[in-house]
Structures are given as C-alpha cells and as structure tokens.
C-alpha cells in the first residue's frame, strides 16, 4: 500500500469504524421504575441490529482492505466512487435497525425489501469501485489475486439480485441467502480458488 492510497484507506477505515458502532447509541438504560433485567431484555432488537451491523460492516471492511492491498495508485474517480461506497456503508445500520424492529411490528416484508435492497446497492458499488480500479489501471500485477476478487464480486452481485427478488416470495429464504453471502465474502477469494484447484486436481488424479 503506497502513501497515496494509504490516506484513502485510513479515511475509509475511520468511516467503517464509525458505521460499525453507530447502533450502540440506540441502546439505553432501562427506564426508571422498570425492573432492570426486564428493561435490558426488552431491548433485544437493538442488540440484534447492533451485532448484525457490526459483523456485516466488518466483513465489508475486510473486502475493502483486500481490494486496497492490490492498489498501487489512486485517481480522482477512485476517490469519488470510494466515497459513494462509504456512504452506503454508513447507511447500512439504518435498514438493519428497521429489520430488527420489524420482528415486533410485523412489517417484516417491507423491512426486508429495504434491507436486501441496501445490500444489493452495496454490491453494485463494490463492483463499480473494482471496475474503476481495473479500467484506470490502478491495481498491481498480481493477476491471480485480482482475478479472484473479480470472480467473487461478479458472483456476489448476481446472488444479491436473486436475494432481492426472492424477498417478494419468501422473506426468510432471502435473509438466509443474505447471511450466506456474508459468509461467502468472509472467506478469502484466494483461499476459495486454491480449494477449488485442489479439488479439481484430486478429481483428475489417477486411481491407483
């Protein structure tokens, strides 16, 4: 990581950190006169939304860092698109909070549409950021690593489109797909590629 791109990643890290902790501000002390532990337990949607936003934003930060580990220079267009991505990251705690509260209000489908739609936009922005990096020749010459990132991003946006569409059919299935995508992006694309290559070699190996 060069000094030039280091400033971009340092600023981005700060935004990710703030976004990951915003929802903790919604957690309040139990009201006076209410049993303490009952009041604590009543805030469980807030705990759920905080943990989800923290984990999912953390996974987005990991993928942002993986991409920037291949960055050798920056451009004005990169700065603009990166800011758009960070805007999407800061937005994520809001639909996550609404999704958690919808469990109590019963408006689960509407909340899931907003929630899954938000992650679809994030996937589009990650692909846009990667596209700017490639077309502007901002990445290093680690072809293996860059190609694996490209494959994971392409698969990601396709699955998030499916996830968003499935929301109208079954909310719980769409949320399961969303969770599965988080796990998918948690695993390094290089590791996934190595595992696939190992499996292919094992399948093609002669039987003794």
At 84-120, the pLDDT tens digits run 999 999 999 889 888 888 877 778 899 999 999 999 9
The answer to whether 86 and 42 have CB atoms below 8 angstroms apart is no
Could you give the angle at the alpha carbon of 62 between the alpha carbons of 57 and 63, nearest 5°? 100
In a domain, 118, yes or no: yes
In a domain, 203, yes or no: no
In a domain, 30, yes or no: yes
- How many whole angstroms from its chain centre is CA 116? 11
**What residues contact 184, with CB distance under 8 A and at least 6 apart?**
152, 155, 156, 159
Instruction: Average the pLDDT over 12-23 and give the result.
Output: 87
**pLDDT in the model for residue 28:** 76
Entry pTM: 0.83
**pLDDT in the model for residue 3:** 59
- How many whole angstroms from its chain centre is CA 162? 16
82 has pLDDT over 90 = yes
In a domain, 199, yes or no: no
Selected residue with higher pLDDT from 63 and 35: 63
Expressed in angstroms, the distance from the first to the final Cα of the chain is 47
In a domain, 81, yes or no: yes
Domains: count for the chain: 1
In a domain, 27, yes or no: yes
206 has pLDDT over 90 = no
Range of the domain at 18: 3-192
In a domain, 44, yes or no: yes
Q: What is the pLDDT of residues 147-182, one digit of tens each?
A: 888 888 999 899 999 999 999 999 999 989 998 998
- How many whole angstroms from its chain centre is CA 149? 14
**pLDDT in the model for residue 74:** 86
Task: Identify which of 187, 188, 61, 72 has the alpha carbon closest to the alpha carbon of residue 126.
Answer: 61
The answer to whether 81 and 128 have CB atoms below 8 angstroms apart is yes
């Amino acid at each position: 990581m060069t000094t030039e791109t280091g400033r971009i990643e340092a600023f981005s890290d700060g935004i990710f950190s703030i976004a990951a902790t915003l929802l903790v501000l919604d957690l309040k002390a139990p009201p006076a006169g209410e049993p303490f532990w009952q009041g604590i337990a009543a805030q469980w949607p807030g705990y759920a939304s905080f943990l989800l936003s923290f984990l999912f934003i953390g996974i987005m930060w990991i993928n942002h860092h993986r991409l920037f580990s291949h960055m050798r220079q920056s451009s004005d267009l990169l700065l603009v698109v990166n800011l758009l991505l960070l805007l999407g990251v800061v937005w994520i705690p809001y639909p996550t909070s609404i999704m958690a509260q919808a469990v109590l209000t019963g408006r689960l489908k509407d909340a899931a549409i907003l929630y899954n739609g938000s992650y679809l936009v994030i996937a589009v922005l990650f692909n846009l950021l990667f596209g700017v990096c490639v077309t502007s020749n901002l990445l290093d010459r680690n072809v293996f690593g860059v190609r694996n990132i490209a494959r994971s991003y392409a698969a990601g946006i396709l699955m998030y489109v499916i996830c968003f569409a499935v929301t109208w059919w079954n909310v719980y299935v769409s949320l399961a797909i969303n969770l599965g995508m988080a796990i998918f992006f948690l695993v390094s694309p290089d590791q996934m590629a190595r595992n696939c290559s190992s499996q292919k070699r094992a399948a093609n190996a002669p039987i003794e």
